[in-house]
């Protein structure tokens, strides 16, 4: 008896939801006991106390289950009507069309029913209940906001952390901060590699404009090298995950990874969850660092633009880069992420006993350069590359030597020269006739002024105004002209075109002889002689015989 009271006391405190869920298994157990002939009143009483219902209620459920076994699935629930409204494919399509607006879906269903294209829809509350019952939260979010919103309700598996330099992840991210770049406000791009085992930022590169393969190569060198000013983290990874970025998959970058024996894992498009380490870093740098900088432009919430102070002074590109690198150092040495158990990323990386594959600085520089593909010859003017001459102090006495040129993309002020036969690195070469900084600034200013002027001219030529409309109809263009004005303007254009083609010193030809039959169209264009009579002029402007001039 005490054991029975103890069991009843422990189960009496079940939550109401759990008690409802246990009704089906309990009734099915009682049915099994009845078929075995072992069912007693005590069993029903204990079950009623556990399910927090009356004893006669359990007997009623048991009787209904004996008549219909389907009643044992959900005892106590109201029998569902066969004509209960359920979400159909049509309703799903309308939810996607109206971005999850249930009221708009109800109006569309009502309009279709009025046209005889379907049954009248239920009330809006019933439609709401059916959508909540038949569609999962992920399906509702996906129909309203697309695949990205639906992915927020998915469950993702966590990869094992592995060991240091086993897997790196790389990505570009545009900083939501305006930075002063040569007098213009720009949003710089950040390219970095992060170690998945320790969350350590291995290498970073900042680009004022849109990133390119040069940004990837610069960040890769910073990630692999371990001496100052990089390191102490570094070495060669076994694998690098990228997300189909054309810069990461370019020929130069792919050749560099292949030469360093690094596997590149090209992830499918629009799958940020497959490289969650670097995506988490992209979110962390904004909330922990970029949001506090002047020029931060991220909107606080959708539909509201954050007003920038008029007297706000933007950071220069150099200052922004210095602050970002200082934050990267703080992340690696001071920050303690929860998954690392109280260690900083650098401490977790250094405590890992996995051997490190080192890379020689000179070899790494060679691997991360783009090659021109054909040999060249050193002349007395240096090395000719892209219609420019490059010279270096080491070229003295090397005229006639066949070499190959490698260069950093978008850095045309310097090239690296290698021997064509042995492949030995010979040295750098600088642009021979490089312009001064003042000249470069003047050229950029002139180009910018020309671009602005051309843009304004094109905009003025294409600017058209239309009248405001309150009723459906064709757009009415303002600035209409009359037919007379249009004819006059077209005639003026035609005259101006002919005047540009005509020669200013053109003398019309003399009149043809009298015995020639000259077409009237040509006779009217001839120059009349001094002795021509009015009748001759009227007849075609025929002058003296043989067209003689006095």
State the pLDDT confidence band at 545, using cuts at 50, 70 and 90.
Answer: very low
Alpha helix positions (H), 118-191: 124-134, 137-145, 147-151
State the pLDDT confidence band at 301, using cuts at 50, 70 and 90.
Answer: low
**Residues 329-357: b if buried by 16+ CB within 10 A, e if exposed:** eebbeeeebeebeebbbbbbbeebeeeee
**Residues 509-518: b if buried by 16+ CB within 10 A, e if exposed:** eebbeeeeeb
Average pLDDT over residues 182-204: 90
Q: Which helix or strand (DSSP H or E) is residue 219 part of?
A: helix 213-224
* Cβ count within 10 A of residue 327: 17
The model's pLDDT over 398-415, given as tens digits with 9 standing for 90+, comes to 888 999 887 766 566 778
In this prediction, residue 3 carries a pLDDT of 43
Helices (H) and strands (E) in the chain, counts: 20, 15
* Cβ count within 10 A of residue 428: 13
Which range has the worst mean pLDDT, 31-35, 110-114, 239-243, 531-535? 531-535
In this prediction, residue 543 carries a pLDDT of 41
In this prediction, residue 198 carries a pLDDT of 92
Q: Residue 380 and residue 397: Cα distance in Å, rounded? A: 9
Question: What is the pTM assigned to this prediction?
Answer: 0.58
State the pLDDT confidence band at 85, using cuts at 50, 70 and 90.
Answer: confident
Which range has the worst mean pLDDT, 412-426, 486-500, 509-523? 486-500
Which range has the worst mean pLDDT, 10-14, 64-68, 265-269, 277-281? 10-14
| β-sheet with 167-174: strand ranges across | 201-207, 189-195, 167-174, 239-242, 263-266
- Taking the domains of the chain in order of start, what are their residue ranges? 2-72, 89-151, 167-299+308-351, 369-431, 519-545
Beta bridge partners of 48: none
Taking the domain 369-431, which CATH number applies?
Answer: 2.30.30
Q: Mean pLDDT for the chain? A: 78
Q: 90: alpha, beta or left, given left = phi > 0 and alpha = psi -120 to 50?
A: alpha
Average pLDDT over residues 302-311: 60
Q: Which helix or strand (DSSP H or E) is residue 239 part of?
A: strand 239-242
Domain 167-299+308-351, classified CATH 3.10.150.10, yes or no? no
Which residues, 6+ apart, have CB-to-CB distance to 492 below 8 Å?
none
Which range has the worst mean pLDDT, 46-50, 173-177, 244-248, 371-375? 244-248
Share of the chain above pLDDT 90, in %: 18
Quick check: 384 pLDDT over 50? yes
């Amino acid at each position: 008896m005490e054991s029975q009271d103890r069991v009843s006391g422990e189960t009496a405190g079940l939550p109401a939801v759990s008690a409802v869920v246990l009704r089906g298994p309990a009734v099915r157990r009682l049915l099994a006991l009845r078929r075995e002939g072992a069912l007693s009143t005590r069993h029903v009483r204990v079950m009623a106390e556990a399910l927090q219902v009356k004893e006669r209620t359990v007997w009623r459920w048991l009787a209904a289950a004996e008549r219909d076994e389907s009643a044992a699935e959900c005892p106590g629930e109201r029998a569902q009507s066969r004509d209960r409204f359920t979400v159909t494919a049509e309703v799903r399509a309308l939810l996607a069309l109206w971005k999850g607006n249930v009221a708009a879906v109800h109006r569309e269903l009502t309009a279709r029913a009025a046209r005889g294209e379907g049954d009248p829809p239920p009330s809006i509350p019933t439609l709401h209940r059916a959508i909540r019952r038949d569609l999962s939260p992920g399906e509702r979010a996906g129909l309203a906001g697309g695949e990205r919103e639906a992915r927020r309700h998915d469950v993702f598996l966590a990869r094992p952390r592995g060991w240091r330099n086993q897997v790196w992840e790389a990505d570009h991210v545009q900083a939501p901060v305006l930075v002063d770049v040569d007098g213009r406000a720009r949003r710089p791009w950040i390219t970095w590699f992060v170690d998945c085992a320790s969350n350590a930022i291995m290498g970073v590169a900042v680009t004022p404009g849109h990133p390119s393969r040069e940004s990837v190569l610069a960040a890769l060198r910073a990630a692999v090298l371990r001496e100052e000013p990089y390191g102490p983290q570094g070495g060669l990874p076994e694998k690098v995950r990228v997300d189909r970025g054309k810069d990461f998959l370019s020929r130069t970058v792919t050749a560099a990874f292949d030469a360093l024996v690094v596997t590149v894992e090209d992830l499918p498009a629009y799958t940020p969850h497959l490289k969650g380490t670097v995506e988490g870093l992209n979110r962390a740098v904004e909330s922990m660092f970029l949001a506090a900088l002047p020029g931060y432009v991220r909107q606080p919430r959708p539909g509201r633009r954050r007003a920038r102070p008029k007297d706000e002074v933007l950071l220069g590109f150099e200052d922004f880069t210095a602050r970002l690198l200082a934050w990267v150092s703080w992340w690696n040495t001071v920050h303690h992420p929860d998954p690392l158990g109280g260690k900083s990323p650098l401490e977790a990386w250094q405590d890992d006993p996995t051997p490190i594959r080192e890379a020689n600085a000179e070899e790494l520089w060679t691997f991360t350069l783009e090659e021109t593909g054909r040999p060249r010859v050193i002349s007395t003017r240096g090395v000719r590359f892209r219609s420019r001459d490059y010279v270096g102090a080491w070229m003295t006495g090397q005229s006639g030597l066949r070499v190959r040129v490698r260069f950093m993309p978008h850095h045309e002020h310097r090239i690296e020269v290698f021997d064509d036969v042995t492949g030995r690195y010979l040295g750098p070469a600088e642009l021979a006739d490089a312009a001064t900084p003042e000249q470069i600034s003047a050229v950029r200013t002139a180009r910018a002024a020309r671009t602005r002027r051309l843009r304004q001219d094109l905009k003025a030529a294409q600017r058209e105004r239309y009248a405001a409309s309150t009723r459906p109809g064709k757009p009415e263009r303002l600035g209409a002209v009359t037919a007379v004005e249009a004819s006059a303007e077209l005639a003026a254009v035609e005259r101006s075109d002919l005047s540009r083609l005509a020669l200013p010193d053109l003398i019309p030809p003399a009149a043809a002889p009298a015995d020639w039959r000259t077409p009237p169209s040509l006779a009217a264009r001839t120059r009349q002689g001094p002795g021509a009579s009015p009748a001759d002029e009227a007849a075609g402007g025929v002058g003296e015989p043989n067209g003689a001039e006095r």
